[in-house]
Structure 1
Amino acid sequence: MTSEKQPLTIKQIGLLFLTAIALSLIALFLYNSWSQPQFQGQLELYQTNLLLNSSVWKGENLTPQAQGVLRQTLIGVEPVSTAISQYEDAQKDSQNHLEKTRQQLTELNQQPVANLTQETLLKQAIASTQESLEKINLNLGLLKIQADRVPEALQLWQKLADDPQSFTGDTAQALIGLWEDSPQILSEAPLMLDLELSGWFRYQALSRLYEIQGDELALRELETQQQEIAFQGIRKLLIVAGVQSVGIFL
């Protein structure tokens, strides 16, 4: 005789429901614990990038004295040096976070019973952190270029270019081509740099590319774009600083 399956009791249904909630809460907790350091680091870099964008503003309608006051008050004396320090801290934090997450995945895979939910979340966190770290290194290289630390920048980018699993290897190779002893422009370089970089970093890379090409028109257009970005950055810094009474910005 074929035995019929007994319907679930209310107690069993309740246990299944509570188990599902518990697993969801655990997954949410794990995701938040893995992503929170990354979010905090990204917020700090956003502030750093805002300062960099603002640092190239020419302020042609202001007197030299007013320009100096704004620059010293809002941006600081050495924005590139400050940004290098911030990016190196972010690089270290991201690398530590990546290694920690990889170790958690290794330990999870050694358990006798697989937990697919945790495994999926860990793999997603690893991929996200790896991509974020690579973008940090792209930008850090451009900062070091501006600080006349070209060999360090090329070394950073070369590691990305040599990694077959890199998310940004092609962009790194394009940057290497712009700053090596005998500059070479990859055919895809303009598009890659335009898509992968933003703000101050995009401006630095494309400026170098157009200078090598001798494209004065593209340089002027890029300068106009960057001045608008820089002006908006100044406005945001003024708002953050609570200085909203400066007439020229109203």
Structure 2
Amino acid sequence: MTLKRIILGVLTVFLVVFFIGPSLLGSWQQPQIQSRLELYQTNLLLYATEWQGEPGEDANSKSLRDALIGAEPLKNAQKQYQEAREQAETNLAKAKAQAELLPDETKQLKGTITQLEDFINQVDLRLGILQAKQGERKGAVETWRSEIQTLEAKSSDSESLKSAEVLLGLWSTPPQILPNSESIIKKSLDGWFRNQALTKLYYLQQRDEALAQLIAAEQKMAEQAILKLAIVGAVPTIGFLIGVGLLLFLLIQRAIKGKDSLLAQNGNLTFSTPWDGETILQVFVAGFFLMQILVSILVLPITLKLLNLDPTTFDLRSKALLVFVNYVLVAAAALSVLYVSIKSFLPLPEGWFRFKLLDKWLFWGFGGYLAALPLVILISLINQRIWQGQGGSNPLLSLALETKDLVVLAIFFVTAAIAAPIFEELLFRGFLLPSLTRYLPVWGAIIASSLIFAIAHLSLSEVLPLTTLGMVLGVVYTRSRNLLASIFLHSLWNSGTLISLFILGSGV
């Protein structure tokens, strides 16, 4: 065994034990972004319920709106918030138990516990409003009273306590308007929930002008919500149905035409791989994972410290720019290691790293995107059942959900929809997948490279969906033999995700 192999072996064990393993296990206790997305979409739906339509609106428009909103929107929203609360309660119990077992991590866990408790308090405020809106006044009053008792038992003087007292007063019999009710509502509630509380307050205060202005503003926001629901709900649904039809067509064609079908095209055509497993390991151990550690944990933090910059004080634009710089540095370092690793094998055999502009890459990329939609959505639904809202998510998604800034969105778009597809497709489909065909059949190489692609994102909850997406990317690349096809598919996927997050996060 050579010294190089010993070093690679030691590095591999080190990365698995001290980086990949802990990162994956750490993500187990982190919430998925999916649960937040569902609540954001629920809030849009609640706004949409207030839309009264235009005078003379035709039946088709009303039917379309009703289809977007659903039969019992308030009841469904209440169920969504109750599920979110139960999930938060479960996570809170786990965090408290972990804090007792791991006293060294108490500071970090205390922050998590505080966030979960605040979230539960906010959910209780909203659940009470949903109950009151559905005529369940007694249930709403009981919800707020229970929250007040819980917070008073903790000697809390939080905004949630003040808000619960204000809401309890508004919906009590007889109603009681507490001092500073308007400012407390505006400070502690947002969106549809704030409007409902203010509507009740203005009605009781007999402030007709303020109430009329609020209702007029609410109608404009409701109209925007209808449009946004159509984009984030109806468009993916249409894509899902088209994708199902495409998959059925491909399967039927495969059964009828066999080797002449689109799915069979280049299906068993392996690559001529001049290097062995040592080179593959070198590219991913030294090039991908080790460079992530060096850049993200050492080079960039030290550089920021030398420049006297504190990332914790950055605004969203600065954070977005930092994510982009970090990603570009990691990609540049990893691709440099890739080049050095295969330099001695140049010129490469035909078929490697092919970029054929005058080809059907748009057809393959867009078709692959449509086919991936139903597959990834179905796997994601199963995944939600498995992880119950845990397992972590890409931090970039949370930042994208928070932003209402088009500049921030543009930076994220360049990072996720341009830089990431080019780098990741070069590495995983351009290099890894063909390299694995030296040891595995094409279908085996597709599965193995897709699993590594998913694990590389370091979130347990993303392993199954990303493996599925990676397999579609692998099929598209091996059939088209053109990296532009898989890059285009990858870019479409990331772009769609970013746009949906921005629409949901931007509110109305």
**Distance in 1 between residues matched to 2:124 and 2:42, nearest whole Å:** 15
Structure 1 pair 30–221 and aligned structure 2 pair: CA distance change class (3 A): farther
SS in 2 for 1:34: coil
**Are 2:232 and 1:237 aligned?**
no
SS where residue 184 of structure 1 aligns? coil
- Equivalent position SS for 1:36: coil
Whether 2:205 is the aligned partner of 1:191: answer no
Q: Which residue of 2 aligns with 1:98?
A: 92
Alignment pair present for 1:157 and 2:150: no
Output the amino acid matched with 1:210. Answer: Y
For 2:44 and 2:173, the matched residues in 1 are separated by: 31
**Per-residue deviation at 1:70?**
2.3
What TM-score does the superposition give when structure 1 sets the normalisation length? 0.79
CA distance in 1, matches of 2:98, 2:147: 24
> What is the distance in 1 between the residues matched to 2:156 and 2:28?
26
Q: CA deviation at 1:30?
A: 6.6
Shift of 1:123: 0.6
> Could you tell me how far 1:98 is from its partner in structure 2?
0.8
Aligned-pair distance for 1:141?
A: 0.6
Alpha carbons 1:137, 1:156 under 8 Å: kept: yes
- Confirm whether residue 177 of structure 1 aligns to residue 172 of structure 2: no
| Distance change in 2, residues 1:30/1:172 (3 Å) | farther
- 1:197-244, Cα deviation, whole Å (9 max, x unpaired): 11211111100000000000010111122112111111101212129x
User: Which residue of the other structure, out of 24, 29, 33, is the alignment partner of 2:28?
Assistant: 33
Name the residue aligned to 1:223.
215
Q: What residue number does 1:144 align with?
A: 131
Question: Does the 8 A contact of 1:54 with 1:234 survive in 2?
Answer: yes
Task: Decide whether the 8 Å contact of 1:177 with 1:185 is kept in 2.
Answer: yes
**CA distance 1:182–1:105, change in 2 (3 Å):** same
1:77 aligned onto 2:71: yes
- Gaps (5+ residues) in structure 2? 1-13, 237-508
Amino acid at match of 2:136: R
- For 1:145 and 1:194, locate their aligned partners in 2 and report how far apart those are by CA, in whole Å: 19
Report the counterpart of residue 4 of structure 2 in structure 1.
Answer: none
- Separation in 2, partners of 1:121, 1:182: 45
1:44 is aligned to 2:38:
yes
Q: What TM-score does the superposition give when structure 2 sets the normalisation length?
A: 0.40
Paired residue for 2:436?
none
Output the amino acid matched with 2:41: Q
In the other structure, the counterpart of 2:373 is none
Secondary structure at the residue paired with 1:154? helix
Query: 1:194-209 alignment to 2 at 5 Å?
Result: 194-209=186-201
Q: Deviations over 1:158-186 (max 9, x none)?
A: 12222133641110000000000011111
Deviations 1:42-69 (A, max 9, x none): 2211111111111101111552513431
State the alpha-carbon separation in 2 of the partners of residues 23 and 104 from structure 1. Answer: 21
Compute the RMSD of aligned alpha carbons.
2.4
Instruction: Please report how far the alpha carbon of residue 23 of structure 1 lies from its aligned counterpart in structure 2 after TM superposition.
Output: 8.7
Q: In structure 2, what residue type is equivalent to 1:158?
A: R
Aligned partner letter, 1:242: V
Paired residue for 1:124?
Answer: 111
Query: Does the 8 A contact of 1:158 with 1:172 survive in 2?
Result: yes
Q: Would the alpha carbon gap of residues 93 and 58 (structure 1) be closer, same or farther in structure 2, given more than 3 Å must change?
A: same
Where structure 1 has 5 or more consecutive residues not aligned to the other structure, the ranges are 1-17, 110-114, 244-250
How far, CA to CA, are the matches of 1:230 and 1:55 in structure 2? 7
Structure 2 letter corresponding to 1:237: L
Partner of residue 133, structure 1: 120
Deviation at 1:124, TM superposition (A): 0.7
Q: Give the letter aligned to residue 239 of structure 1.
A: I
| Count of paired positions | 216
The verdict on how the C-alpha distance between 1:171 and 1:30 changes in structure 2, with shifts beyond 3 A counting, is: farther
Distance in 2 between residues matched to 1:64 and 1:85, nearest whole Å? 31
Please tell me whether the aligned partners of residues 148 and 165 of structure 2 are also in contact (alpha carbons under 8 angstroms).
Answer: yes
Distance in 2 separating the partners of 1:31 and 1:192: 37
- When residues 67 and 205 of structure 1 are mapped into structure 2, their CA distance, relative to the original with a 3 A threshold, is farther
Q: CA 1:24/1:124 → structure 2, altered by over 3 Å: closer, same or farther?
A: farther
In 1, are the aligned partners of 2:65 and 2:226 still within 8 Å (CA)?
no
Partner of 2:256 in structure 1?
A: none
CA contact (8 A) 2:169 2:177 kept: yes
Paired residue type of 2:54: E
Amino acid corresponding to residue 33 of structure 1 in structure 2: W
How much has 1:71 moved relative to structure 2?
2.5
Alpha-carbon contact 2:166-2:181 (below 8 Å) kept: yes
Cα pair 1:31 1:121 within 8 Å, conserved: no
